Amino acid sequence: MITVWGRKTSQNVFKVMWLLGELGLEHQRIDAGGRFGGLDTPEFGALNPNRKVPVLRDGDLVLWESHTILRYLAARYGAGTFWPQDPGERALVDRWTDWTATALQPAFMDVFWGYFRTPPEQRDWAFINDGLKRTARLFTLMDEVLARQAWLSGDRLTMGDIPAACTLHRWYSLDLEKPSFPHLEAWYGRLQERPAYREHVMVSFEELRGRLAF
């Protein structure tokens, strides 16, 4: 059985959990990190010397870094569906995975941490508004792509959609004024029709409100 270490409210963890759900793979998740702690134990350090979640174990293979785990699961268990066989098609999937890591997630996390996870009296609104502007520019790019096709990499859901799509539930849940992105909103609607997205991504994150400690 596949085992994942990480708390369900971690965005990097629920990327992995969502793909496991889409692939229908038997798995268990062990709470770790955040209020659950456990990352400083020798046992966890042997799994991941960085002492971060998620960590995945599949048989004798132990992996860390969420996008590496996504690539492994997609290649091993979702070849031809979540992981295209053609190198060119696969590259179209990979570019969205990498783009999310280098562009979208850093911008959005500035908003999420600066606004939701910071106590109101400590918020830096110049920092938050800068993050909002950067996130909006990136969502505009996605909106233009989704005006032409149903999913980021083409006509079906692939691994490349997962990292970017994991930002949407939190984005649309924040009580902040936001610009309208009609095609992005339609994409979010399609995502909400997927049971694995609802189960693993659309989870309450209220425990993180105003908490900078984890």
| pLDDT at res. 156 | 94
Which residues share a beta bridge with 95?
A: none
Terminal CA-CA length for the chain: 29
For residue 121, the enclosing domain spans: 87-202
Residues 153 and 59 placed together within one structural domain of the fold: no
Same domain (yes/no): 97, 180: yes
Task: Please give the distance of CA 2 from its chain centroid, rounded to a whole number.
Answer: 19
Average pLDDT, the chain: 97
Domain boundary among 25, 59, 77: 77
Q: What percent of the chain has pLDDT over 70?
A: 100
Shared-domain flag, residues 70 and 98: no
Q: What is the CATH number of the domain that holds 198?
A: 1.20.1050.10
Question: Is the model's pLDDT at 7 over the cut of 80?
Answer: yes
Say what the pLDDT of residue 181 is.
98
**Tokens, residue 7:** 């708390």
Q: Taking residues 82-100, what's their average pLDDT?
A: 95
pLDDT tens digit sequence for 9-60: 999 999 999 999 999 999 999 999 999 999 999 999 999 999 999 999 999 9
Instruction: For residues 60-87, give the mean pLDDT.
Output: 96
Residues 6+ apart with CB under 8 A from 168: 184, 187, 188, 191
Residue 101 sits in the same domain as residue 124: yes
Query: Residue 73: its pLDDT value, please?
Result: 98
Q: Beta 55-58 vs 2-5: how paired, if at all?
A: antiparallel
pLDDT digits (tens, 9 = 90+) for 104-125: 999 999 999 999 999 999 999 9
Strand order in the sheet with 61-64: 27-30, 2-5, 55-58, 61-64
Q: Is residue 193 located within the same domain as residue 122?
A: yes
Q: Is residue 207 part of a domain?
A: no
For the chain, how many structural domains are there in total? 2
Q: For the residues 163-179, what does the mean pLDDT come to?
A: 96
Residue 210: inside a domain? no
Do 73 and 92 share a domain, yes or no?
no
Alpha-carbon distance of 94 to 43, in angstroms, equals 32
Residue 33 is assigned to a structural domain of this protein: yes
CB-CB contact of 153 with 96 (8 Å): yes
Q: Is residue 212 part of a domain?
A: no
Residues 73 and 91 placed together within one structural domain of the fold:
no
Q: Using CA atoms, how far apart are residues 64 and 164, in angstroms rounded to an integer?
A: 19
How high is the pLDDT of residue 213? Answer: 81
Q: Which CATH number fits the domain that encloses residue 52?
A: 3.40.30.10
pLDDT band, residue 200 (cuts 50/70/90): very high
